Amino acid sequence: MNPLLIAAAAGLTVVGLVHSVLGEIMVFRGLRRQGAGLRGIPHNVGGVRSPVAPRALALPREHLGIVWATWHLVTLLGWALAALLWRLGTVPSDTALAAWVADVTGLATLAGGMLVLYATRGRHPGWTALLVVAALVWWR
Minimum mean pLDDT among 2-6, 67-71, 117-121: which range?
2-6
pLDDT of residue 75: 94
Residue 79 has pLDDT above 90, yes or no: yes
Spatial contact of 133 and 111, defined as CB atoms under 8 Å apart: no
- Average confidence score pLDDT of the chain: 80
- Average pLDDT value for residue range 98-118: 89
pLDDT of residue 100: 85
The span from the CA of 50 to the CA of 42, in Å, is 9
- Average pLDDT value for residue range 113-122: 91
Report pTM. 0.66
